[in-house]
A and B are shown apart, each in its own frame.
Chain A
């Protein structure tokens, strides 16, 4: 099975102190470290597990600049067979729809049986997967938390629905799935692995390679535009439970029950 996983490079929320820049339209990007969007990591791991069982190849693709090659290499170190960087000045400022348009153009030039995205990006809005499926006219399932290959044309997939129950679905290939965290345990990517793929060639494609009209993507075509960026004011502080140990335990259980954490 030929699997394409769409990945994205995001500021690592665990390793940065996110601050607004002076203009207030973005975060301060100096001295920031990036990592693979967490959901995408699960998607790549899932793809690798599928090809380990059913054969095939895993390709990772990202839309971005030269710096974004870093995440492709990380996923290749994880085991992805190919990496593809889609980059063009014309793509700058694309909204979700623009990114889906670019990916669609790339996918139509190649043949993939299965396309995976993360459910959402740490700095995004969970838009691309659904729009991409729609542009390709492929079936789409979101929030997928298990995949079983039934035969060459069908997958059995599940997703968790509110309340914790699981819904099982069958879906025809080719299709697009957005992958939820927790579907697997992504393997560790060591520094040695990254060094081993450091010299592998990563092909890049621009707008003309994909036959894209620059006006259909990028800033020019974006219909959703970020107008502001701010850190919300801190809300009310944490509630400290008072009383004896038993009283604290009782009121904690009461609170957990009322919020649905305990049944």
Chain B
């Protein structure tokens, strides 16, 4: 500011004040929007800024929408009420945020502050009046309350910006680091954004403070400022300032506020802050059905689909592209990802940000668009896409409900379509095609597990081949049918079914692999062949319900198949029979045993069955159970089932070893699980970690079979009421 200017100021201000006698007054003092700035009349200046700002924003958003309009179809307009409910829960209610207590709380505060201030911003920018004034038109008290609320909101947001910047600069949480293989870090960008928001808060508060001070100087009834809020502090700091300076600061703050607002508006679509705009839509259009996999193409007959899966960017659906824009890069997905935890070349966070950057490069705001380059080999590597266990931990964590599994499956479909499948997976896939199981074992040996001499005598397992029929079908699936170790789960299941008096049978040689992983590994056509064969066999068997001990088969039958009788996992059946008194347990004999329950992903996260298995365990007298640090919806995957057992990932250590360590850390010496694949991985991990003798793994069915009190059923019912000793308030 030159001397001449500053000396001219007071004069200028006074003249202007006179001139503005005729203009609209704003709470007793002239509106800043009506003042003159460098000889430009305010209304002209702010109209130009507003039009330019909004036009820029509209243009940028239109360019950002360009790939979405060209992307693949996605059906997301159904069930509006369910979607609205999710908007209330996950967007307005910020449901996922407290899972990361510190960062989540900060986000809730900032989000709430933004909502309160958004009203203020729109009132100021559009109406030219502050938000409290707008509300005051309806009720003076409401206006005053809003004024105080918004003062505190600005203060809290400002403080959050300071804390967030301190975190970024001083504490540097590991979650935000970007390993060099995934690109450059974005700390500078993050801090710049925080600074912009802080500027917005300060300018707004300064404006309020000046206004209140001016009102006081003019002997008007000053607007009440919230005690200890930023405007209140600034007002006190300004108490001795001259009228001219106050007036200039008042206008200056308003100008800075307006400019920062529009700059931020147009800057956000270039990075992580875009989620401010997209999050509402992302949550509304989020996937509703757990455990499912999207079809190859929505609403298209597969015979007419030329190319399967995602090969280039435009093969993604518009919703999946919206996911890319919505990612706030908070890193919570990768923090929970088992593949990332053991150094596999996959980190869900970067799966998204790499695609977002690709989209920004190929669909730029300025310049020509370009699609075409295959994603695999450019932004993604093959190993990256095969590394995912589809455990769903990332999706469970994402506050914005971004989807990962469907994208991974789509990318795998693309690779399968191009014949790009690792050798380790080609053999089991070929065997699934010719023999219906990944091991290449003969179909006629699928029921061999029932033929162990001792077992056969005590427990009949009829094969439902048309000559025999039954009420329930036990769907065994490949691993339990053929794997020597897992066959024990099959026999335990059969004995339990027998004990509760179920009228059941198996499909035997007519059963094929459920195809659960075949589908999730991208071989959709093979999956459909397996599914069709199973559906036909199940229909022919005439059963009324299905039970399985394999959560992968359970998920496939429940979500990937259609029009089947109701499907249940054994843990559900056992829990029900325990409650009904049909199953009673002998007390645990070994008092040194401490049990922990490991949630299989496809029972827990994908199907929300967390309590049934725990209730069963807690019903066993004398059983001591502890929870691992990560359990229920945060349980760490065992390493992956189905075809994942054949895949040879690049990793520093096995995921299962991490999990076994968690069990040991929780003080457990027995890991109970309810999935044959978890069993494979946990038993391997125990060996690899050298924990044999210290740690064992057992399937829920095996434990139940071992502890079951084998009196006759009628005795149990006639006897004392079976008390389900569920431990209330068990740590979750």
Contact with A along B396-438 (1 / 0, CB 8 A): 0000000000000000000011111101011101110111000
Task: Give B434's nearest chain A residue, CB to CB.
Answer: A33
Question: Residues of B contacting A193 with CB < 8 Å?
Answer: 419
A79-B523 Cα distance, complex, nearest whole Å: 18
A151-B595 Cα distance, complex, nearest whole Å: 70
Tell me whether A185 and B423 are in contact (CB under 8 A): yes
Task: Give B429's nearest chain A residue, CB to CB.
Answer: A188
A191, CB-defined interface residue at 8 Å: yes
A191-B443 Cα distance, complex, nearest whole Å: 19
**Which of A9-17, A124-132, A162-170 lies at the binding interface?**
A9-17
Task: Give A195's nearest chain B residue, CB to CB.
Answer: B525
Tell me whether A190 and B431 are in contact (CB under 8 A): no
Question: Residues of A contacting B442 with CB < 8 Å?
Answer: 16-17, 31
A144-B431 Cα distance, complex, nearest whole Å: 28
A61, CB-defined interface residue at 8 Å: no
A13-B427 Cα distance, complex, nearest whole Å: 11
Q: Which of B419, B433, B435, B440 contacts A187 (CB 8 A)?
A: B419
A26-B526 Cα distance, complex, nearest whole Å: 32
On whether A15 and B440 interact (CB within 8 A), knowing A188-B426, A191-B523, the answer reads: yes
Tell me whether A33 and B419 are in contact (CB under 8 A): no
Tell me whether A35 and B430 are in contact (CB under 8 A): yes
Question: Residues of A contacting B416 with CB < 8 Å?
Answer: 188, 190
A191-B444 Cα distance, complex, nearest whole Å: 23
B308, CB-defined interface residue at 8 Å: yes
Tell me whether B421 and A31 are in contact (CB under 8 A): no
Tell me whether B308 and A192 are in contact (CB under 8 A): yes
Contact with B along A1-37 (1 / 0, CB 8 A): 0000000000010111100000000000001010100
B529, CB-defined interface residue at 8 Å: yes
Tell me whether B435 and A190 are in contact (CB under 8 A): no
A78, CB-defined interface residue at 8 Å: yes
- Distance in Å from the Cβ of A36 to the closest Cβ of chain B? 10
Question: Residues of A contacting B421 with CB < 8 Å?
Answer: 187-188
Question: Residues of B contacting A188 with CB < 8 Å?
Answer: 416, 419-421, 425-426, 429
Task: Give A193's nearest chain B residue, CB to CB.
Answer: B419
Question: Residues of B contacting A15 with CB < 8 Å?
Answer: 430-431, 434-435, 440-441
Q: Which of A14, A78, A79, A190 contacts B526 (CB 8 A)?
A: A190
A12-B433 Cα distance, complex, nearest whole Å: 13
A202, CB-defined interface residue at 8 Å: no
On whether A187 and B418 interact (CB within 8 A), knowing A14-B427, A31-B442, A195-B525, the answer reads: yes
Residues A19-58 near B (CB distance < 8 A): 31, 33, 35
Question: Residues of A contacting B529 with CB < 8 Å?
Answer: 191
- Distance in Å from the Cβ of B280 to the closest Cβ of chain A? 39
- Distance in Å from the Cβ of B618 to the closest Cβ of chain A? 41
Residues A186-215 near B (CB distance < 8 A): 186-193, 195
Question: Residues of A contacting B417 with CB < 8 Å?
Answer: 190, 192
Question: Residues of B contacting A186 with CB < 8 Å?
Answer: 426
- Distance in Å from the Cβ of A216 to the closest Cβ of chain B? 36
A-B CB pair tally, cutoff 8 Å: 56
Task: Give A36's nearest chain B residue, CB to CB.
Answer: B430
Question: Residues of B contacting A14 with CB < 8 Å?
Answer: 427, 431, 440
Question: Residues of A contacting B426 with CB < 8 Å?
Answer: 186, 188
A186-B421 Cα distance, complex, nearest whole Å: 9
Task: Give A189's nearest chain B residue, CB to CB.
Answer: B419
Q: How many chain A residues touch B (Cβ–Cβ < 8 Å)? A: 20
- Distance in Å from the Cβ of B448 to the closest Cβ of chain A? 12
- Distance in Å from the Cβ of A157 to the closest Cβ of chain B? 23
Residues A175-193 near B (CB distance < 8 A): 185-193
Task: Give B440's nearest chain A residue, CB to CB.
Answer: A15
Tell me whether B526 and A33 are in contact (CB under 8 A): no
Task: Give B428's nearest chain A residue, CB to CB.
Answer: A14
Q: Which of A31, A78, A195 contacts B419 (CB 8 A)?
A: A78
A17-B419 Cα distance, complex, nearest whole Å: 28
Question: Residues of B contacting A189 with CB < 8 Å?
Answer: 419
Residues A119-144 near B (CB distance < 8 A): none
Question: Residues of B contacting A185 with CB < 8 Å?
Answer: 423
Question: Residues of A contacting B418 with CB < 8 Å?
Answer: 187
A227-B696 Cα distance, complex, nearest whole Å: 54
Task: Give A17's nearest chain B residue, CB to CB.
Answer: B442
Tell me whether A192 and B525 are in contact (CB under 8 A): yes
- Distance in Å from the Cβ of A47 to the closest Cβ of chain B? 14
- Distance in Å from the Cβ of B557 to the closest Cβ of chain A? 21
Question: Residues of A contacting B525 with CB < 8 Å?
Answer: 190-192, 195
- Distance in Å from the Cβ of A147 to the closest Cβ of chain B? 19
Q: Which of A31, A190, A195 contacts B444 (CB 8 A)?
A: A31
Residues B291-320 near A (CB distance < 8 A): 308
Tell me whether A191 and B433 are in contact (CB under 8 A): yes
Residues B75-103 near A (CB distance < 8 A): none
Question: Residues of B contacting A33 with CB < 8 Å?
Answer: 434-435
Question: Residues of A contacting B425 with CB < 8 Å?
Answer: 188
On whether A187 and B308 interact (CB within 8 A), knowing A12-B440, A14-B440, A33-B435, the answer reads: no
A195-B420 Cα distance, complex, nearest whole Å: 18
- Distance in Å from the Cβ of A129 to the closest Cβ of chain B? 24
Question: Residues of B contacting A191 with CB < 8 Å?
Answer: 433, 523, 525-526, 529
Contact with B along A78-105 (1 / 0, CB 8 A): 1100000000000000000000000000
A5-B315 Cα distance, complex, nearest whole Å: 35
Task: Give B425's nearest chain A residue, CB to CB.
Answer: A188
- Distance in Å from the Cβ of B430 to the closest Cβ of chain A? 7
Question: Residues of A contacting B440 with CB < 8 Å?
Answer: 12, 14-16
A16-B430 Cα distance, complex, nearest whole Å: 13
Task: Give B432's nearest chain A residue, CB to CB.
Answer: A191
Task: Give B441's nearest chain A residue, CB to CB.
Answer: A15
Question: Residues of B contacting A12 with CB < 8 Å?
Answer: 430, 434, 440
A260-B523 Cα distance, complex, nearest whole Å: 41
A15-B441 Cα distance, complex, nearest whole Å: 6
Question: Residues of A contacting B427 with CB < 8 Å?
Answer: 14
A192-B522 Cα distance, complex, nearest whole Å: 12
Residues B498-557 near A (CB distance < 8 A): 523-526, 529
A192-B414 Cα distance, complex, nearest whole Å: 12
- Distance in Å from the Cβ of B617 to the closest Cβ of chain A? 37
Task: Give A15's nearest chain B residue, CB to CB.
Answer: B440
Question: Residues of B contacting A195 with CB < 8 Å?
Answer: 525
Tell me whether A190 and B419 are in contact (CB under 8 A): yes
Question: Residues of B contacting A190 with CB < 8 Å?
Answer: 416-417, 419, 429, 523, 525-526
A17-B442 Cα distance, complex, nearest whole Å: 8
Q: Which of A17, A35, A187 contacts B420 (CB 8 A)?
A: A187
Contact with A along B439-463 (1 / 0, CB 8 A): 0111110000000000000000000
Residues B323-364 near A (CB distance < 8 A): none
- Distance in Å from the Cβ of A233 to the closest Cβ of chain B? 24
A124-B526 Cα distance, complex, nearest whole Å: 31
Task: Give A34's nearest chain B residue, CB to CB.
Answer: B434
- Distance in Å from the Cβ of A54 to the closest Cβ of chain B? 20
- Distance in Å from the Cβ of A11 to the closest Cβ of chain B? 11
- Distance in Å from the Cβ of A179 to the closest Cβ of chain B? 17
Question: Residues of A contacting B441 with CB < 8 Å?
Answer: 15
A131-B425 Cα distance, complex, nearest whole Å: 36
Question: Residues of A contacting B429 with CB < 8 Å?
Answer: 188, 190
Task: Give A79's nearest chain B residue, CB to CB.
Answer: B419
- Distance in Å from the Cβ of A61 to the closest Cβ of chain B? 21
Residues B96-150 near A (CB distance < 8 A): none
Most chain B CB within a 10 A radius of its CB, from A79, A192, A195:
A192
Question: Residues of B contacting A16 with CB < 8 Å?
Answer: 440, 442
Contact with A along B254-283 (1 / 0, CB 8 A): 000000000000000000000000000000
Listed from nearest, the 3 A-B pairs whose CB atoms lie closest are: A187-B419, A15-B440, A188-B421
Can you list 22 contacts pairing A with B, beta carbon distance less than 8 Å? Answer: A12-B440, A14-B431, A15-B431, A15-B434, A15-B440, A15-B441, A31-B442, A31-B444, A33-B434, A79-B419, A187-B419, A188-B420, A188-B421, A188-B429, A190-B419, A190-B429, A190-B525, A191-B433, A191-B523, A191-B525, A191-B529, A192-B525
Excluding A15-B430, A190-B526, 4 further A-B contacts by CB distance (< 8 Å) are A14-B427, A187-B418, A188-B426, A192-B417
